[in-house]
Amino acid sequence: MIETNRLKLYAASQDMMETFIEAQTADVLKAAYTEMLNGCLEHPDQWDWYAIWMIELKDGTHIGELCFKGLSADGIAEIGYGISEEYQNNGYASEAVRAVLKWAFSHSKVVAVEAETDSDNIASKRVLEKCGFSLNGIIGEEGPRWAVFKC
């Protein structure tokens, strides 16, 4: 578990992920979260790099999720994140991303963390900028790719 001033972040267990997936009403989210669970089951030794990370306020209120999309052989991890609408614009996404970047870069194999965001997603772009990411010139499936490197 990672704790910040206002948040608790943790990689969900298999049971938690299965329950979370079952509760999803959007097919796109159900598919994405199922892919994460499958990654965990295929790579149990890298669970944290595939799991759904729960983002909660210190009082246990669930406010969003975060994930890595595995860790490549060359030490690059891709991150994705989302905060529930009613909790947006409070700095929670930036706080969560900063915390998991610190966690990721504590692993010797990690050299960079990347993210993709739609060009029109101003809030997500701002989170990435605040957390030290910069555009790397690559366009991915979800939009321009951003990267931050281990210092």
Q: What is the pTM of this model?
A: 0.93
Report yes or no: 149 and 111 within 8 Å, Cβ to Cβ: yes
Q: Give pLDDT, residue 138.
A: 85
Buried/exposed 56-91: b ≥16 CB within 10 Å, e otherwise: beeeeeebbbbbbbebeeeebbbbbbbbeeeeeeee
pLDDT bracket for residue 149 (50, 70, 90): very high
- DSSP class per residue in 43-108: -GGGGGGTSEEEEEETTS-EEEEEEEEEE-TTSEEEEEEEE-GGG-SSSHHHHHHHHHHHHHHTST
Q: Give pLDDT, residue 105.
A: 97
- Strand 76-83 and strand 112-116: the pairing is parallel
Report CA 145 to chain centroid distance, whole Å.
14
CB atoms under 10 Å from CB of 139, counted, come to: 11
For residue 12, the SS3 value is coil
Report yes or no: 131 and 147 within 8 Å, Cβ to Cβ: no
Task: Kindly report, residue by residue over 136-148, the tens digit of the pLDDT.
Answer: 988 888 889 999 9
Task: Kindly report, residue by residue over 81-109, the tens digit of the pLDDT.
Answer: 999 999 999 999 999 999 999 999 999 99
Q: Give pLDDT, residue 47.
A: 96
Q: Which domain holds residue 22?
A: 2-149
pLDDT above 90 for 151: no
Q: What percent of the chain has pLDDT over 90?
A: 92
Q: What is the CATH number of the domain that holds 77?
A: 3.40.630.30
For residue 9, the SS3 value is strand
Task: Kindly report, residue by residue over 40-85, the tens digit of the pLDDT.
Answer: 999 999 999 999 999 999 999 999 999 999 999 999 999 999 999 9
The count of domains in the chain is 1
Q: What percent of the chain has pLDDT over 70?
A: 100
